[in-house]
Amino acid sequence: MDALDTFFETCAEMLYIAERDGTIRRRSAAFAELFGGELGSLVELAQEDHRASLTDFLGRLEPSGEGGELTFPAAKDGLTLRCRARRAADGSLHGAIHPAPADEALGRIERRLLHAIMEHLEIALWAIDTEGLFVYHDGRALATVGLTRNQFLGLNIFDLYPDGSTAEIRAALAGERSHSTSVQHDILWENWYIPLAGPDDGVDFVAGITLDISDKIKRESELTRQLETIKEQQKAIQELSTPIIEVWDKVLTAPLIGFINSQRADSLMERLLHEVTRTGARFAIIDLTGVDAIDTATASHLLRLLMSIRLLGAEGIITGISSHVAQTMVGLGVELASITTRANLREGLRFCMGKMREQD
Please report, for residues 180, 345, 351, 360, the alpha-carbon distance to residue 357 in angstroms, rounded to integers and kept in the order given: 69, 19, 10, 5
Q: Which residues of the chain are in CATH 3.30.750.24 domains?
A: 239-359
Instruction: Give the C-alpha separation, 134 to 155, whole Å.
Output: 6
Q: What percent of the chain has pLDDT over 90?
A: 18
Q: What is the pLDDT of residue 15?
A: 92
The whole-number pLDDT of residue 317 equals 93
CA dihedral sign, ordered 10, 15, 16, 17:
negative
Fold of 121-216: Beta-Lactamase (3.30.450)
**117 or 214, greater pLDDT:** 117
* Among the listed residues 218, 220, 160, 157, the one whose alpha carbon sits nearest the alpha carbon of residue 193: 157
Asked whether the CA dihedral 226, 227, 228, 231 is positive or negative, the reply is: positive
At residue 252, does pLDDT exceed 90? yes
Q: Which residues neighbour 74 within 8 Å (Cβ) at sequence distance 6 or greater?
A: 45, 46, 47, 80, 81, 99
pLDDT of residue 235: 60
For residue 217, pLDDT over 90 is answered with no
Nearest to 305 by CA among 333, 344, 264: 264
Contact 61, 67 (CB under 8 A): yes
pLDDT at 94: 94
The stretch 116-142 carries a mean pLDDT of 85
CATH 3.30.450.20 in the chain, residues?
A: 3-101, 121-216
> Which is more confidently placed, 85 or 290?
85
Phi and psi (nearest 5°) for 64?
60, 20
Measured distance CA(57)–CA(70) in Å, rounded: 7
Q: Give the contacts of 233 (CB within 8 A, at least 6 positions apart).
A: none
Q: In the CATH scheme, what architecture does the domain 239-359 have?
A: 2-Layer Sandwich (3.30)
Higher pLDDT, 121 or 42: 42
Q: What is the pLDDT of residues 158-171, one digit of tens each?
A: 888 876 668 888 88
Residues of the chain with pLDDT > 70, as a percent, come to: 88
pLDDT-derived band of residue 269, with 50, 70 and 90 as boundaries? confident
CATH superfamily of 3-101: PAS domain (3.30.450.20)
Whole-number average pLDDT of the chain? 82
